[in-house]
Amino acid sequence: MARGIPRSRAALRPGTSKTTGAAKSAKGAKPADGTKKSERRAKPKPGGKPGRGTKSGRGTKPQPTAEAGRAPRSALGPLRFLARLLAMLCAFALMVAFAVVLAKLTLQPSPASEALTHTNLHPGRSLRAYLDQPELRDAVRQIGGNLLLGVPFGILVPVVAPRTRGVLRVLLLTATVMLLVEFAQGALVTGRAFDIDDVILNTTGALIGYLLLGRRLSRTVHAREPGS
């Protein structure tokens, strides 16, 4: 009796089909479109975040560079420097002119009033003498003239020398200069004498000039650029 042809195990097992072997071979086969596994993993899922290997350029706005913001400032730099230099030169010229006027008013000899001038080291004595004059015009001329003589210091000094900006520095500088002028009057000039009240009035005038105009003018000329 002839032996029969042996059947495969898959055929002997119930419930199995012949397509199982084809399915296994399909799992190990590469995709037909030639795409790689890494490209499949890189594709973002709908509603999810993009993968690590991908760079999403969509939705990003170009950030302004630093050079774009610096261009206008660099263009205005030379203009600001020239304006500041011109203002300082004008203030210096006015300062020289004021020094000439101050020298003529305070250091010019006056032989006719030699017998009337006396050295005053007591604050307030000359002020009382000015106010006791019969005519108010003479008192205003004496007091107002000494006040006006110190106003240019408070306006021009902070512009010419920005380090002197400040109430105390302006007052100290004005008082020092006026003390030197008064000492020169009393020691060298005929018909002139040292008067402490003149120093007080000159310093007060410098304070008025600084508070009214000198402080604002100095801040405008020597304004610092943002970011410097």
Q: Answer yes or no: is 217 within a domain.
A: yes
Stronger pLDDT, 226 or 170, i.e. the higher one: 170
Nearest by Cα to 178 from 194, 166, 190: 194
- Give the span between the Cα atoms of 67 and 192, in whole angstroms: 64
The pLDDT score that the predictor gives to residue 203 is 94
Across residues 32-53, what is the average pLDDT?
50
pLDDT band at 147 (very low <50, low <70, confident <90, very high): very high
Residue 192 lies in a domain: yes
Q: Which domain holds residue 99?
A: 76-221
Within-domain flag for 31: no
Half-sphere exposure of 123 (CA within 13 A, CB side): 3
* SS3 at position 42: helix
Task: Determine what percent of the chain is predicted with pLDDT higher than 70.
Answer: 64
Is 0.85 topped by the overall pTM? no
The pair of structure tokens assigned to 40 is 């499949």
Residue 145 in any domain: the answer is: yes
Residue 62 lies in a domain: no
User: What is the DSSP track for 164-221?
Assistant: G-SHHHHHHHHHHHHHHHHHHHHHHSTT---BHHHHHHHHHHHHHHIIIIIHHHHHHH
Higher pLDDT, 7 or 174: 174
The pLDDT of 41-67, averaged and rounded, is: 51
Domain assignment present for 183? yes
Q: At what angle do helices 196-209 and 136-160 cross, to 10 degrees?
A: 60
- pLDDT higher than threshold 70 for residue 51: no
Question: Mean pLDDT over residues 86-112, rounded?
Answer: 85
Query: Side chain identity at 148, as an amino acid letter?
Result: L
Could you tell me if residue 101 is inside a domain? yes
Tell me 12's DSSP state.
H
- Whether 63 has a pLDDT exceeding 60, the answer reads no
Is a pLDDT exceeding 50 seen at residue 192? Answer: yes
Q: Indicate the number of domains in the chain.
A: 1
Structure-block tokens of residue 194: 């040292």
Enclosing H/E stretch for 83: helix 66-106
Is pLDDT of 87 > 50?
yes
Instruction: Please give the Cα distance from 193 to 114 (Å, whole number).
Output: 9
| Contact indicator for 202, 150 with CB cutoff of 8 Å | yes
127: alpha, beta or left, given left = phi > 0 and alpha = psi -120 to 50? Answer: alpha
Beta strands in 124-227 (DSSP E): none
| Residue 80, pLDDT above cutoff 50 | yes
Which pLDDT does position 104 carry in this prediction?
A: 85
pLDDT of the residue at 76 = 59
